């Protein structure tokens, strides 16, 4: 008799359920998933868009996992924040239309919350779910059948709309916590922002102008992104210092430090999300809030020297860069979690060196404190490396990740980037067979776009991205994708709606910049978790903050869930869009579908997650 094992992992935005079984279950056509509310005992059969059995016809568009079970071993469930749940995983035995329960297995309990110990809170949105059938069905359609992006803009203007609540989760209000705490304790917030255009956030800041001071960077051509908010805040006498850097440098921080009424540091909010509508609702983003006087002091010091640097004749002065290059020591915040702050620009070099033909990129990563630290942590990885990134540029942590694929073949590596332009470039001397999807894309007749992706530099956050996203992948010598780019069903698929990938004037779909190392091992690390794009360009040219967090397994696994949610969402669309999916759109009517889940690399990786939790 087959043994089934199952786990559940959660953050505030959802739950990931994973299960495995060790031998073929006779006549099993999939698994039903039933959510159990621990407080009430209520059991709910999870629903999904109807995927028909082979040969089945129906006008229905929705079903549940009892009648159309999941032929796989991983699922993401959207659950209300604050709920405590567990799951019943049940093999469904028999034939289509006549399925019976097998022996169920139960996961551990999880709570969808924000607390990861007494001193750390983290929050994730669901901005990547813009490209879903649910959103596509909610929006009116254009003449070509695509969802109307103007209607999406209108929906997210109302934070209480159904779409805004799904996509934003609690992130828009979570990022106000330092300000709310400042009002509560008569404290003050020191903020560093790159983009500020959310009408809701601007009105909130105006209403609470006495509890904060801000260094506001310039974003967009001629400061188009921030001009309206900047003018409004100056007009009411708010304490705003303008930081206007040249286009080659970005004042890229998203930071808010709380100090008490005595001026002493209390806590520090760092986030990947800019306070814009896209940042809150239509990009994958997160925020982290850490209560620690010692750590927050580093945030205060960085704020003060950045503000002072705005008055310098040469912004990002040599003195400013030198101070940033001093990597702060790990700070024990009080529960065994250690946190290290890394600031940029942290190099005497002011522009990214040109990589010569045949030159190794690894030594260049030592030019900035941030990329050097990331490289060192990645090279020490033992179990797995999981990440999300916007545009790291080149060289970046991706050079290390792709090198590790070859040098540490047992290391599990999965990650997603915002567009094909952000994928690792083909290196001199590496043949096309190391880039299997390049061959596939050439077969599809889009050679020119591939060549441009391989040769072009990576755009910055406020530059237009013209290449069609989500069409390339990099994984040498392996069939299973490891690093993918975001995509949507922009042309539809089977009877599925066409989807939006992003708003027309948006540049990012994945905007989180985070790496989780060994989340199921004995020494988990969380790297990034703030503004830094994790590449040398950011470390040399931009105002940035990055964190390295050690020893908090629950936090690392919460970020892991965020990463895998985004990765899995876009993986499915990537496979369909490139014709690499073996799934025909129909469920198998025999138990043969199970074979690929009983062994292989994906099986071993999922087993490492299950054993990491069970252990």
CATH number at residue 109: 2.60.40.10
Judge if 396 and 544 occupy the same domain: yes
Distance between CA atoms of residues 496 and 562, nearest Å: 25
Q: Are residues 313 and 419 in the same domain?
A: no
57 falls within a domain: yes
- CA gap 99, 430 in Å, rounded: 51
Each residue of 544-584: pLDDT tens digit? 999 999 999 999 999 999 999 999 988 878 777 776 666 66
Q: Strands, E, within 176-328: which ranges?
A: 188-193, 212-217, 239-243, 254-259, 265-271, 286-291
Contacts of residue 610, defined as CB under 8 A and 6 or more positions apart, other chains included, come to 5, 6, 7, 18, 19, 20
Residues 507 and 523 in one domain: yes
Q: Is residue 508 part of a domain?
A: yes
- Cα(181)–Cα(540) distance, integer angstroms: 34
Cβ atoms 68, 52 nearer than 8 A: yes
Q: What are the start-end ranges of the E strands in 391-472?
A: 412-417
Percent of the chain residues topping a pLDDT of 90: 70
The answer to whether the peptide bond before residue 231 is cis (omega within 30 degrees of 0) is no
Residue 351 lies in a domain: no
pLDDT in the model for residue 55: 82
Mean pLDDT across 255-276: 98
Query: Does residue 339 lie within any of the structural domains?
Result: no
Residue 240 and residue 224 share a domain:
yes
Q: Which residues form the domain of 498?
A: 362-577
Contacts of 293 (CB under 8 A, 6+ apart): 264, 265, 266
What is the DSSP secondary structure assignment for residue 281, as one 8-state letter?
Answer: I
Domain end among 82, 113, 144: 113
Provide the pairing of β-strand 514-517 with 473-474: unpaired
Q: Give the pLDDT mean for 384-390.
A: 96
Name which of 178, 79, 77 is nearest 121 in CA terms: 178
Q: What is the pLDDT of residue 428?
A: 44
| Host H or E run for residue 308 | helix 293-309
* Average pLDDT over the chain, rounded to an integer: 87
What is the rounded CA–CA span in Å between residue 160 and residue 281? 12
Helix (H) or strand (E) holding 375: helix 369-379
Domain match, 88 and 128 both: no
395 and 529 inside one domain: yes
As for how many domains the chain has, the answer is 3
Using the predicted structure, report yes or no on whether residue 119 has a pLDDT greater than 50.
yes
In a domain? residue 413: yes
Is residue 609 predicted with pLDDT exceeding 80? Answer: yes
Among 89, 113, 137, residue at a domain's last position: 113
| Confidence tier at 479 by pLDDT (50, 70, 90) | low
Q: Cβ-count burial of 575 within 10 angstroms (0-12 exposed, 13-18 middle, 19+ buried)?
A: middle
Instruction: Judge if 74 and 150 occupy the same domain.
Output: no
Residue 31 lies in a domain: yes
Do 325 and 367 form a contact (C-beta atoms < 8 A)?
A: no
Answer whether residue 340 is part of any domain: no
Distance CA 279, CA 69 (A): 35
pLDDT digits (tens, 9 = 90+) for 147-158: 899 999 999 999
Say whether both 327 and 422 belong to one domain.
Answer: no
Same domain, 445 and 535: yes
Q: Is the backbone peptide bond immediately before 357 cis, with ω within 30 degrees of 0?
A: no
Minimal CA–CA distance to 253: which of 599, 532, 466?
532
Rounded to whole angstroms, the Cα distance separating 302 from 323 reads 9
**In CATH, what number is assigned to the domain containing residue 285?**
3.30.870.10
In the structure encoding, which two tokens stand for residue 569, read together? 């969402």
Q: Please give the pLDDT value at position 475.
A: 43
Indicate left, alpha or beta for 534 from its phi (over 0: left) and psi (-120 to 50: alpha): left
Q: At residue 443, does pLDDT exceed 50?
A: no
Same domain, yes or no: 101 and 144: no
Task: Classify residue 608: in a domain, yes or no.
Answer: no
DSSP three-state, residue 284: strand
Given 332, 348, 378, the domain boundary residue is: 332
Do 24 and 136 have their domain in common? no
Q: What is the pLDDT, as a whole number, of residue 582?
A: 62
Indicate if 87 and 193 belong to the same structural domain: no
């Amino acid at each position: 008799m087959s043994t089934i094992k199952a786990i559940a992992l959660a953050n505030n935005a959802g739950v990931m359920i994973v299960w495995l079984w060790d031998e073929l279950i006779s006549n099993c056509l999939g698994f039903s998933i039933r959510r159990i509310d621990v407080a009430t005992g209520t059991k709910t059969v999870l629903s999904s868009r109807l995927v028909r059995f082979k040969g089945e016809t129906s006008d229905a568009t929705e079903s549940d996992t009892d009648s159309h079970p999941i032929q796989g071993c991983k699922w993401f469930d959207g659950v209300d924040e604050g709920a405590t749940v567990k799951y019943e995983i049940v093999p469904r035995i028999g034939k289509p239309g006549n399925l019976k329960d097998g022996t169920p297995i139960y996961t551990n309990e999880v709570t969808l919350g924000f607390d990861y110990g007494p001193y750390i809170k983290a929050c994730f949105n669901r901005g990547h779910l813009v490209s879903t059938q649910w959103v596509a069905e909610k929006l009116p359609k254009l003449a070509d059948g695509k969802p109307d992006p103007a209607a999406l803009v209108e929906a997210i203007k109302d934070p209480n709309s159904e779409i805004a609540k799904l996509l934003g989760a609690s992130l828009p209000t979570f990022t106000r916590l330092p300000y709310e705490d400042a009002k509560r304790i008569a404290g003050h917030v020191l903020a560093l922002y790159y983009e500020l255009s959310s009408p809701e956030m601007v009105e909130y800041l105006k209403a609470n102008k006495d509890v904060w001071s801000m260094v506001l960077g310039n974003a967009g051509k001629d400061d188009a992104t921030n001009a309206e908010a900047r003018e409004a805040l100056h007009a009411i006498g708010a304490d705003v210092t303008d930081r206007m850097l040249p286009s080659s440098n970005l004042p890229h921080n998203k930071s808010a430090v709380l100090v008490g009424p005595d001026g002493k540091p209390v806590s520090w909010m760092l986030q990947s999300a800019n306070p814009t509508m896209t940042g809150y609702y239509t990009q994958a983003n997160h925020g982290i809030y850490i209560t620690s006087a010692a750590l927050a002091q580093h945030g205060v010091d960085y704020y003060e020297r950045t503000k002072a640097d705005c008055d310098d004749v040469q912004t990002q002065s040599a003195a400013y860069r030198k101070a940033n290059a001093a990597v702060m020591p790990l700070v024990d915040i009080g529960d065994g979690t250690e946190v290290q702050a890394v600031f940029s620009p942290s190099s005497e070099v002011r522009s990214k060196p040109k990589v010569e033909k045949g030159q190794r990129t690894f030594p260049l990563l030592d030019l900035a404190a941030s990329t050097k630290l990331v490289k060192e942590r990645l090279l020490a990885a033992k179990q797995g490396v999981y990440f999300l990134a916007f545009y790291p540029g080149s060289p970046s942590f991706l050079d290390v990740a792709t090198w590790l694929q070859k040098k540490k073949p047992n290391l599990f590596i999965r990650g997603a980037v915002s567009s094909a332009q952000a994928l690792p470039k083909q290196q001199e001397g590496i043949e096309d067979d190391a880039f299997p999807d390049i061959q596939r894309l050439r077969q599809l007749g889009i050679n020119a776009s591939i060549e441009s992706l391989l040769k072009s530099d990576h755009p910055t956050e406020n530059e237009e991205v013209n290449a069609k996203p989500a069409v390339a992948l990099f994984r040498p010598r392996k069939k299973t994708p490891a690093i993918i780019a975001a995509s949507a069903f922009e042309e539809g698929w089977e009877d599925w709606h066409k989807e939006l990938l992003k708003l027309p004037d948006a540049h990012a779909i994945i905007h989180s910049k985070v790496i989780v190392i060994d989340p199921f091992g004995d020494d988990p690390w969380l790297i990034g978790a703030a503004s830094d794009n994790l590449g040398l360009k950011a470390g040399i040219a931009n105002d940035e903050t990055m964190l390295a967090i050690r020893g908090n397994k629950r936090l690392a696994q919460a970020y892991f869930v965020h990463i895998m949610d985004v990765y899995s969402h876009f993986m499915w669309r990537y496979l369909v869009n490139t014709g690499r999916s073996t799934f025909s759109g129909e469920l198998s009517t025999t138990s043969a579908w199970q074979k690929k889940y009983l062994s292989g690399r994906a099986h071993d990786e999922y087993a490492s997650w299950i054993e990491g939790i069970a252990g």
